[in-house]
Amino acid sequence: MAGNSQEYISHHLTNLTYGKLPAGYVRHEVDENGIVHEHALTHDTWTMAHTKQEAADMGFWALHVDSLGWSIGLGAMIMLLFWKGAQKASTAVPTGMQNFIELIVEFIDNTVKESFHGRNPLVAPLSLTIFCWVFMMNFMDLIPVDVLPSLFALFGVHYMKVVPSTDVNITMGMSLTVFALMIFYSIKVKGISGFAGELCLQPFKVSNPVLQAVFVPINLFLESVALLAKPISLALRLFGNMYAGEMIFILIALMFSAGAFLGLLGGALQWAWAVFHILVITLQAFIFMMLTIVYLSMAHEDH
C-alpha cells in the first residue's frame, strides 16, 4: 500500500514534459502486458517523457506542456470572457455578467488608486490581468485531482498537472516579468544614475566621501539582495501555498481507496478543504497582485 501511495502521489506531481534525450539514452517502456522493453536512442531526440526519470533527465530546457497549455488556455478564456462582456456592455439595465465584470474592474481600480502613488496607465490593466489569471490558475485546484488526469489518460497522455500555479516555472516566469517591469520603470523614472545611486548610497549614507566610498560595496550588496529577493519571494509564496494545497487534496484522495469509512471521511474532508481553499486561492491571487502594485509603486518613487 505504501508503495502504491508513493507512486500515486509521485504520478500526480509529475508534469507532462517535452524535452531532448541524448543519443545513447536507454528508454524503458512498458507494453500493455506489463513487460518492460529497453531500447537505446540512436540520435538526440526531442520527445515526450514517458517516466518521471526521463522528465528529470531532460534537464533545464525541457518544457512542461501541461502547465504551459493550461495557463495559456485560461488566459485566453479570461480575455474572451472580458471581450464578450465589453461587447454586451450597456448603459441600460446591466446583465449579471456586466455587473460581475464591473465589480472586479472597480475593485482593482480602487486598489491601484490606494496603493500606487505614481502615474502609469499600465498598472491597473496589469493588476486586473494578474488577479484574474492567477485566480483562474489557482481555481483549477478545486477540480478533483483524478478527473482530468484520468480523462487525458484515455488518449495516451502519461502525466497531467492541471494547476499551473503549482509549477514553480510558471510562478517564477510571472514574477520575473514583474521584476523586469520594476527595473525598466526604475531606470525610466530615476535615470541610470539615480537607480545606481539608490543601490549604492543606501542604507548607509554619510557626508564623508572617503567613508561613503567604503560603504558603496556594502550598500550594493545589501540592496541587491533585497532587490533580488522580491521576485523570488513573489514566485515562491504563490508556488508554496498552492503546492501545499494540491498535496493535501492528493492525500485526501488516497483515503478513497482505503475502505468505506475512510472513503466517507475523505469525502467530508475534501469538501471542507475545498470550501476553505476558495479563500486561499482568492487570497493568493490578491497578494500576488498587491505586491506587484507595491513593487511598481516603489519603482516610480523618485527621491
Q: Using an 8 Å Cβ cutoff, are 141 and 246 in contact?
A: yes
Nearest CA among 135, 123, 112 for reference residue 284: 135
Known catalytic residues are 233, 237, 241
- CA 67, 68, 71 angle in degrees (round to 5)? 80
The vertex-210 CA angle with 183 and 186, nearest 5°, equals 10
Query: What are the residues whose beta carbons fall under 8 Å from the beta carbon of 252, sequence distance 6 or more?
Result: 266, 269, 270, 273
- Of 52, 58, 67, give the one whose Cα is nearest residue 7: 52
Whose cell is 502521489? That residue is: 9
Q: Are 162 and 139 in contact (CB under 8 A)?
A: no
Residue 117 grid coordinates:
502613488
CA distance 6 to 120: 50
> First and final CA of the chain: distance in angstroms?
62
Strands of the 63-64 sheet, one edge to the other: 45-48, 17-21, 63-64
Alpha-carbon distance 59 to 80, whole Å? 35
- Contact predicate 262/83, CB 8 Å: no
By CB atoms closer than 10 A (0-12, 13-18, 19+), residue 44 is: exposed
Helix, strand, or coil here: 48? strand
User: 216 is written with which cell numbers?
Assistant: 558603496
